[in-house]
Amino acid sequence: MRDEKFVTLAAELFVAKDVRGGRTDGRRFSALSYAKAVGSEAPATGPASCRLRLIWTPRVPCVFHQMPGQRKSSYQFLVFSIFQISAIMSNAIGEGPKFAEPIPNVTVALGRDASLPCVVENLGNYKVAWIHIDRQMILTIHRHVIARVSRFSVSHDNHKTWLLNVNQVHQEDRGYYMCQVNTNPMISQVGYLQVVGESGYSL
């Protein structure tokens, strides 16, 4: 019988591809790592019906079912533990973070470079993350690149405009990209990257 365990912070994303109007529906992730408080070295991985925002929200329990034959990811746990602490230490005074403008849809020719901007006001000590929804991949958190793909990078302008940069775009780079801020509750928005043939132009 599968055991239910609680995690305060989970890891690998499994985001449903159903995206409507810049928001995701039925978002799920796979908990490849779980809180050390569980106190077990046994493999504990499985689907969790927890919303994406729980990854960023400190001390919020998330239930998942233990599945055999899979390993937990200490790397992912370490990354998100760091940003859990960051969220706890963020004491917002006055108005909290908000998006100043939507992420534009971008069209780029195959092999060219592209950038997706995420403009956030009043960020304070909170962190911005980029996620490729179609590939269920965490790309960046704050200034750090999480994805093991060297073509991705992140840059920012005075902590307001956070640019996800994709160099030498491949076909698999097309799709929906989410920008999220680790507030409680989490705020996020989505933009689309379209990859076309040699006749395309980057917007």
pLDDT above 90 covers a percentage of the chain that reads 48
Q: 202: pLDDT confidence band, cut at 50, 70 and 90?
A: very low
Q: Which CATH superfamily is domain 98-196 in?
A: Immunoglobulins (2.60.40.10)
Average pLDDT over residues 94-111: 93
Spatial contact of 65 and 3, defined as CB atoms under 8 Å apart:
yes
Asked whether residue 111 carries a pLDDT value surpassing 80, the answer given is yes
Collapsing DSSP states into helix, strand and coil, what is residue 105?
coil
Q: 81: pLDDT confidence band, cut at 50, 70 and 90?
A: low
Q: 58: pLDDT confidence band, cut at 50, 70 and 90?
A: very low
Distance CA 202, CA 57 (A): 35
**In this structure, what are the phi and psi dihedrals at residue 10, rounded to the nearest 5 degrees?**
-115, -170
Asked whether residue 61 carries a pLDDT value surpassing 60, the answer given is no
- Picking from 178, 188, 76, the residue whose alpha carbon sits closest to that of residue 130 is 178
**Strand-pair partners of 124:** none
Distance CA 24, CA 47 (A): 17
Distance CA 125, CA 87 (A): 8
- Picking from 141, 140, 158, the residue whose alpha carbon sits closest to that of residue 149 is 140
Q: What is the location of CATH 2.60.40.10 in the chain? A: 98-196
pTM for the structure as a whole = 0.57
Report the relative pairing of strands 144-145 and 128-132 from DSSP bridges: unpaired
pLDDT, greater one: 23 or 154: 154
